[in-house]
C-alpha cells in the first residue's frame, strides 16, 4: 500500500451528518468554486448556487433528459452527478452555447423548425443534439431518433426536433460556429 488518504471517521449512526465540500470547476469557460453539502447534485449546484436555471429538472432520476449538460465534452445527466464529482472538470450548459451574442446554430434551428412547444425539455434537447452531431449520429432519421431517445418531450415536438437536427447536420454541424 502506498499512501493512505485521510479518511474522516464514520459519523454517529443517529446523525447521517451534513458535510461540506468545495468544488472548483469550469462552467461555460469560467472558473467557479462552489461550497456545498456533499449530497448536492450538479443540477442543483448549477440552478441554485450558480443561478444557471437554463438546465431543467424534470424527474431527478435520469429518465427525462431535461438536465442534460456536457461534462468534459460528453453529454451526461446533471441530476445523476454530484457537484463534488465535477472537481477539476469542464461543464457546459445551455447558457454556454452562444458565441458573441449569437445563438448556436442548433438553437437557431430549433426556433426555425418549431422544435418545441412549452420549451421545458428544450435546453436538454439542444445539449443532447449538439453532442449527437459530434458523436456522428445524425446520418439518418432513425439514428437521430435512437440517439435522442434519452430526451423526452411532453409536448411531443419530436418530428420538429429531428428536422432541426437534420438541418444543422446538413449545414456541416456546429464547427463553423464554434
The residue range among 16-24, 44-52, 59-67, 133-141 that interacts with ligand FES, by the rule CB under 6 A, is 59-67
> Looking at 117, 134, 173, 177, which residue binds ligand FES (CB under 6 A)?
117
Residue that the C-alpha cell 488518504 belongs to: 5
Alpha carbon 34 to chain centroid, angstroms: 18
Find the Cα–Cα–Cα–Cα dihedral 59, 46, 30, 133, rounded to 10°: 10
Which positions ≥6 away from 100 have C-beta within 8 Å?
none
Shortest Cβ 39–other proteins spacing (Å): 6
Cβ–Cβ < 8 Å for 42, 57: no
Return the residue of 34, 69, 121, 131 that touches ligand FES, per CB under 6 A: 121
Cell of 39: 449530497
State the nearest-atom distance from the C-beta of 120 to ligand FAD, in Å. Answer: 18
CB of 124 to ligand FES, least distance (A): 7
Binding residues among 43-82 for ligand FAD as defined by CB under 6 A: 61-63
C-alpha cell belonging to residue 65? 433528459
How far is Cα 168 from Cα 172, in angstroms, rounded to an integer?
7
Q: Which stretch binds ligand FES (CB under 6 A): 20-28, 97-105, 112-120, 164-172?
A: 112-120
The footprint of ligand FES (CB under 6 A) covers: 57-60, 62-67, 77, 79, 116-122, 153-155, 157
Footprint of ligand FAD (CB under 6 A): 61-63
Amino acid at each position: 500500500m502506498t499512501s493512505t488518504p485521510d479518511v474522516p471517521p464514520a459519523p454517529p449512526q443517529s446523525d447521517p451528518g451534513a458535510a461540506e465540500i468545495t468544488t472548483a470547476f469550469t462552467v461555460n469557460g469560467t472558473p467557479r468554486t462552489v461550497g456545498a453539502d456533499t449530497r448536492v447534485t450538479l443540477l442543483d449546484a448549477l440552478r441554485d448556487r450558480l443561478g444557471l436555471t437554463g438546465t431543467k429538472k424534470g424527474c431527478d432520476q435520469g429518465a427525462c433528459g431535461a438536465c442534460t449538460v456536457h461534462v468534459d465534452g460528453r453529454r451526461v445527466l446533471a441530476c445523476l452527478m454530484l457537484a463534488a464529482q465535477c472537481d477539476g472538470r469542464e461543464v457546459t450548459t445551455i447558457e454556454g452555447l452562444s458565441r458573441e451574442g449569437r445563438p448556436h446554430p442548433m438553437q437557431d434551428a430549433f426556433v426555425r423548425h418549431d422544435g418545441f412547444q412549452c420549451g421545458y425539455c428544450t435546453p436538454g434537447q439542444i445539449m443532447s443534439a449538439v453532442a449527437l452531431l459530434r458523436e456522428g449520429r445524425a446520418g439518418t432519421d432513425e439514428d437521430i431518433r435512437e440517439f435522442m431517445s434519452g430526451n423526452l418531450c411532453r409536448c411531443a415536438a419530436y418530428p420538429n426536433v429531428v428536422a432541426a437536427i437534420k438541418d444543422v447536420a446538413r449545414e456541416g454541424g456546429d464547427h463553423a460556429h464554434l
